[in-house]
Structure 1
């Protein structure tokens, strides 16, 4: 049975239920199956040996999600070759591709949790009522250990970009 967490997040002030565990620094990053394209799935193992900045957004078609994805795309070049930035949403791969092309997103890898919701459940961000993933940031080191976590309490808030970027830089050395 999937764990339900209540009272930890809101959407426009209204309580939402998150499915899955609350991950913490030092936890081993859970595996997941997620779509890179409509017919191509990837997992955590596909990024083995890389530092992973995982930016979770509900939908790329909203203002905060758009800004979050653009910000990490701009910062990607400053993080080095050993860091991969994954933006995960439940948007269909077609919509993600269209967004990335239109917005000039060329350094962030957009991945879709639409098919299995396995990322959302494994990382404790799947919103029961909406079947969207709650905004969050995870930094996972090259050995797949979580080194930074930020679960947003209000879905419409921006994450702490500087803290996430610094946590990534600290791992690069």
Structure 2
């Protein structure tokens, strides 16, 4: 299934692979990769038990993606271990780690969908024309049920931080 014109990139309509994930849906399973003392896997089961925010970006090497990651990192500083926070992109795990070190990103994990695009296809965030992920934010409850979902309509624009963080804080107590 594809969703033609679901979002735009610099005003041009783009097609997203897969179905949209909506509030009330059980989050689809996925496998991401991150580098922490070696290559590690992260999947949905690893996130259950705590509220989770998934911040999806095309690439940390772009201005808006860097801003999005830094803003969520800043706002998550007071939440500690009460929540899971993950930035997802197709960037290689090593490049993601370099970004986090250079930008002092410590309140969220970065994980890559580079191997098989399982996240992008399952969450409907893979832009078919560009082979990158669109900008999106998802908040899951401790059981992995979607409580907030935003597919940012224009990839070059920032997400609604206030709405996403409000949903997350409401779950974290």
Match of 1:24 in 2: 22
The two structures have a TM-score, normalised by structure 2, of 0.96
How much does 1:40 deviate? 1.8
Q: Distance in 1 between matches of 2:172 and 2:99?
A: 29
Match of 2:13 in 1: 15
Q: Distance in 1 between matches of 2:5 and 2:77?
A: 37
How much does 1:79 deviate? 2.8
Q: Distance in 1 between matches of 2:9 and 2:51?
A: 30
Q: Which moved more, 1:92-101 or 1:78-87?
A: 78-87
Is the 1:28–1:146 Cα contact (8 Å) retained in structure 2? Answer: yes
Give matches, 1:87-166, under 5 Å.
Answer: 87-166=87-166
Q: Which moved more, 1:77-86 or 1:118-127?
A: 77-86
Q: Distance in 2 between matches of 1:170 and 1:20?
A: 29
Deviations 1:48-80 (A, max 9, x none): 201110000000001110000001111112234
Q: Distance in 1 between matches of 2:87 and 2:101?
A: 14
Q: Distance in 2 between matches of 1:77 and 1:98?
A: 20
Match of 1:65 in 2: 65
Alignment root-mean-square deviation, CA: 1.0
Is the 1:79–1:168 Cα contact (8 Å) retained in structure 2? Answer: no
The two structures have a TM-score, normalised by structure 1, of 0.96
Matched, 1:53 2:59: no
Count of paired positions: 171
The unaligned stretches of length 5 or more in structure 1 are none
The unaligned stretches of length 5 or more in structure 2 are none
Deviations 1:21-66 (A, max 9, x none): 1111000001101111273211011112011100000000011100
Q: Distance in 2 between matches of 1:80 and 1:87?
A: 16
Give the match's secondary structure for 1:137. strand
Q: Distance in 1 between matches of 2:78 and 2:164?
A: 13
